[in-house]
Amino acid sequence: MARELSEMADRAFDQAKPYLDRAVKSVDPILKEAQSKMGPVWKGAQAMADPVIKGAKDMADPVLREAKEQNVRRNAKQEIYVQYGDHELRTEDIAARCRENYEQNGGDLADLKELQIYVKPEDNAAYYVVNGSTTGKIVF
């Protein structure tokens, strides 16, 4: 059955081939003329668009690069340790203890906008400054 269908298709193609050849021959000059007329228009449009595209790309590149870097920074797991003598402290733990100490000494965490921490291993302590004015100390 498949062979019979294949043979029928071959015969139909053989019968249609002369008509297809004539159609291609009659359309071919029209296509060539259209291409020759459109060539300069296309080149002119492309020449006008290239600087605009390049300018847009140049403006977008730094923004895209920064967005990509921020995404990497945001998604990257980060832990920082301070090691000295027999001690090892995670900086996040030091910050948490500073916030707790600030709160225990009457500070309101809702008001905390900036926390600066200074680790002094020789004192076994960290000193902190909250919002540029309130100071405190934690001991390790």
Distance CA 24, CA 132 (A): 82
Which of the two residues, 123 and 6, has the higher pLDDT score? 123
Residue 29, pLDDT score: 82
* Torsion angle defined by CA atoms of residues 67, 68, 73 and 75, in that order, rounded to the nearest 10 degrees: 110
Residue 58, pLDDT score: 82
Residues with Cβ < 8 Å from 101, sequence gap 6 or more?
128, 136, 137, 138
Encode pLDDT of 73-125 as tens digits: 666 778 889 898 888 999 999 999 999 999 999 999 999 999 999 999 989 99
State percent of the chain over pLDDT 70: 94
The top-scoring range by mean pLDDT among 23-32, 45-54, 77-86 is 77-86
Parse the chain into domains and list their residue ranges.
1-78, 81-139
Q: Within 10 Å of residue 135's Cβ, how many Cβ atoms?
A: 12
Mean pLDDT of the chain: 83
Residue 115, pLDDT score: 95
| Per-residue pLDDT band at 1 (split at 50, 70, 90) | low
